[in-house]
Chains A and B, each alone.
Chain A
Amino acid sequence: MSASRWGTRLGALAFAASVLALWEVLADARFISPVFFPSPLRTASALQAMAARGDLWAPTSATCVRMLYGWAVASLLGAVVGAAIARSAAARAYLQPILEFLRPLPASAVIPPAILFLGLTSRMVVTVIAFGAIWPVLLGSYHGFRTVEPRLSEVAALLRIKSVPYLWKIALPSALPEIFAGVRVSLAIALILAIVTEMQAGQSGLGFNILMAQRSFRSPELYAGILVLGILGLIANQLLLMAERRFLRWREFAS
């Protein structure tokens, strides 16, 4: 790596470090309220304490599992339903207005009805996550399947490729980039809904933990929880990006 790239990396690190250092100094000197903005060192030690007493991995994995489960269901269902609607003109005609109405609705709007039907249970949580996270994938899949290159459809007709092979060999790979994009957004929504429903329903997890930390004014733990959530979101997104790069390698060469 060239010297200048090392230089900028060092500079970025130095910048981040100096921000944290400044924060630390200001918090210790009480220039900023240590209750609202606890010093980074205290946050770090709170994180360590949480890990030590087992209060970190269990809630993290609980949140993680919920998020992944709801997201997986939503992605699969969304992709299939989106494809089905895209392929059927009748379905489009009948469902379009309903879809248009539901699209701008916040995913969290599912929560009040879900509480009504299922109470404050873990089933409610998973249902909310699945229902809320389905839209980006559904819309992405729908759009992806609708915008298959028409020339390729002609090629398929000329090569006498039948319906099912056409879906598998041409329509699906063509729609995959948009489905992937929808899946990534869906994961972000799933994480948010997991956090939010935990807070709402008192289910054990990171969201619940940071709410409890707030209630007892334990702000280092609050920040630690936020930090972990940020890391969780980052890892999840990065993993998806890696998968996308692997499966959609051809995109960097497409014009």
Chain B
Amino acid sequence: MCAQVSQIVPPPRTRTNPEHSALETRRLSMRFGNRLVLDDINLTVRQGEFLCVVGPSGCGKTTLLRLLAGLLRSSSGELLAAGAAVAGPSRDRAMVFQDYGRALLPWRSVWANVALAYEARGGSRAERRERAFALLARMGLAEVGEYFPGQLSGGMQQRVQIARALAQDPRVLLMDEPFGAHDAMTRQHLQDAIARLGGERRITTVFITHDLEEAIYLGDRVVALAANPGRVLETLEVGLPRPRDQLGTREAPLFLKHRHRLFELLLPGTRPHE
């Protein structure tokens, strides 16, 4: 199903300085009116890593992601991307939203939606179309390229959004509970699709979810966020081998250990049988 990647994926723009982390927050805080939503967040996202952020509802995960994307300006603290201060949105940081239905253009075909990411850079329609279809093929969506998003299932629409994010050729991929609106089976397919992509291209990814197991399954590291106000409780090094699979990995002792730890941190009161 995965096409030959090397000819299709354009080479990286400039070599990023390997000393700089992909993203770094220093004492990042966010206040809405009187409410302190994020308090003193210090995070470092290493280049090429898949970082998952988990936490209960209202812990500010989405706010954090929007700050990283540049859609919001922090109340205090610093945010650096590849060593430079973040002033606003940038093509280097692509975002995938949870409400895929609202994030895609319903009047454009699937391939044209993907092409939106690089249209401004020119090229003929045929070239844009070819590039879009190449990306869609990697997501397994080549057959539906000419359809409208409204004709696709939820899982496919979300993959289209991911394809568009990748079409941006970003340095960092930011994903806001992208699989939250899907059923369990679709979620597993999407998880594996993302995991596979991560394996191929090693794009730095920040992945927000409320599903603890999803976070461990997908991530290289997992950051547990508390709520009210949002603050970092702990960062776990997952350390599980790749490629991961839904059955084997989820039964590995290390997986279960992480799972216990996250439960303790985020769902206190759930005690294992004594």
Q: Which A residues contact B (CB, under 8 angstroms)?
A: 149, 151-152, 154-155, 157-162, 165, 169-170, 173-174, 176, 248-255
Q: Which B residues contact A (CB, under 8 angstroms)?
A: 69-71, 88-91, 93-95, 97, 99, 101-103, 105-108, 116-117, 119-120, 148-151, 168
Judging by beta carbons under 8 Å apart, are A254 and B103 in contact? no
Judging by beta carbons under 8 Å apart, are B120 and A165 in contact? yes
Contacts of A249 in B (CB 8 A): 148
Q: Name the CB-closest residue of A to B102.
A: A151
Q: Name the CB-closest residue of A to B93.
A: A158
- In the complex, what's the smallest C-beta–C-beta distance from B113 to chain A, in angstroms? 10
Contacts of A159 in B (CB 8 A): 91, 116-117, 168
Distance in angstroms between the alpha carbons of A251 and B107 in the assembled complex = 8
Contacts of A251 in B (CB 8 A): 106
- In the complex, what's the smallest C-beta–C-beta distance from B99 to chain A, in angstroms? 6
Contacts of B88 in A (CB 8 A): 157
Judging by beta carbons under 8 Å apart, are B116 and A169 in contact? yes
- Contact A250-B106, Cβ < 8 Å, known A158-B94, A160-B90: yes
Q: Kindly identify which residue among B71, B99, B108, B148 contacts A158, using a CB–CB cutoff of 8 Å.
A: B71
Distance in angstroms between the alpha carbons of A251 and B150 in the assembled complex = 8
Q: Which 7 interchain pairs have the tightest Cβ spacing? A: A253-B150, A151-B102, A250-B107, A173-B107, A254-B106, A254-B150, A253-B148
Judging by beta carbons under 8 Å apart, are B91 and A250 in contact? no
Q: Name the CB-closest residue of A to B152.
A: A253
Judging by beta carbons under 8 Å apart, are B101 and A255 in contact? yes
- In the complex, what's the smallest C-beta–C-beta distance from A153 to chain B, in angstroms? 10
Distance in angstroms between the alpha carbons of A224 and B228 in the assembled complex = 75
Contacts of B106 in A (CB 8 A): 250-251, 253-254
Q: Kindly identify which residue among A154, A173, A252 contacts B105, using a CB–CB cutoff of 8 Å.
A: A173
8 CB contacts below 8 A, A to B, read A151-B103, A158-B89, A158-B95, A161-B116, A169-B105, A173-B105, A253-B148, A254-B148
Known: A154-B95, A173-B105. 10 other contacts (CB 8 A): A151-B99, A152-B103, A154-B71, A157-B71, A160-B89, A173-B107, A174-B107, A251-B106, A254-B106, A254-B148
Contacts of A253 in B (CB 8 A): 106, 148-151
Q: Name the CB-closest residue of A to B88.
A: A157
Contacts of B107 in A (CB 8 A): 173-174, 176, 248, 250
- In the complex, what's the smallest C-beta–C-beta distance from A157 to chain B, in angstroms? 5
Distance in angstroms between the alpha carbons of A174 and B119 in the assembled complex = 19
Contacts of A151 in B (CB 8 A): 97, 99, 102-103
Distance in angstroms between the alpha carbons of A154 and B102 in the assembled complex = 11
Distance in angstroms between the alpha carbons of A157 and B88 in the assembled complex = 9
- In the complex, what's the smallest C-beta–C-beta distance from A118 to chain B, in angstroms? 41
- In the complex, what's the smallest C-beta–C-beta distance from A250 to chain B, in angstroms? 5
Contacts of B91 in A (CB 8 A): 159-160
Distance in angstroms between the alpha carbons of A165 and B122 in the assembled complex = 13
Contacts of B70 in A (CB 8 A): 158
Contacts of B149 in A (CB 8 A): 253
Contacts of B95 in A (CB 8 A): 154-155, 158
- In the complex, what's the smallest C-beta–C-beta distance from B49 to chain A, in angstroms? 21
Judging by beta carbons under 8 Å apart, are A170 and B105 in contact? yes
Judging by beta carbons under 8 Å apart, are A250 and B148 in contact? yes
Distance in angstroms between the alpha carbons of A160 and B90 in the assembled complex = 7
- In the complex, what's the smallest C-beta–C-beta distance from A119 to chain B, in angstroms? 46
- In the complex, what's the smallest C-beta–C-beta distance from B59 to chain A, in angstroms? 21
- In the complex, what's the smallest C-beta–C-beta distance from B2 to chain A, in angstroms? 25
Contacts of B148 in A (CB 8 A): 249-250, 253-254
Q: Kindly identify which residue among A149, A157, A158, A255 contacts B150, using a CB–CB cutoff of 8 Å.
A: A255
Distance in angstroms between the alpha carbons of A152 and B88 in the assembled complex = 17
- Contact A152-B89, Cβ < 8 Å, known A158-B95, A250-B107: no
- In the complex, what's the smallest C-beta–C-beta distance from B272 to chain A, in angstroms? 41
Distance in angstroms between the alpha carbons of A160 and B108 in the assembled complex = 19
- In the complex, what's the smallest C-beta–C-beta distance from A173 to chain B, in angstroms? 5
Contacts of A158 in B (CB 8 A): 69-71, 89, 93-95
Judging by beta carbons under 8 Å apart, are B97 and A161 in contact? no
Judging by beta carbons under 8 Å apart, are A152 and B105 in contact? yes
- In the complex, what's the smallest C-beta–C-beta distance from B132 to chain A, in angstroms? 14
Contacts of B102 in A (CB 8 A): 149, 151-152
Contacts of B119 in A (CB 8 A): 165, 169
Name which of B105, B107, B120 has the most chain A CB atoms within 10 A of its CB.
B107
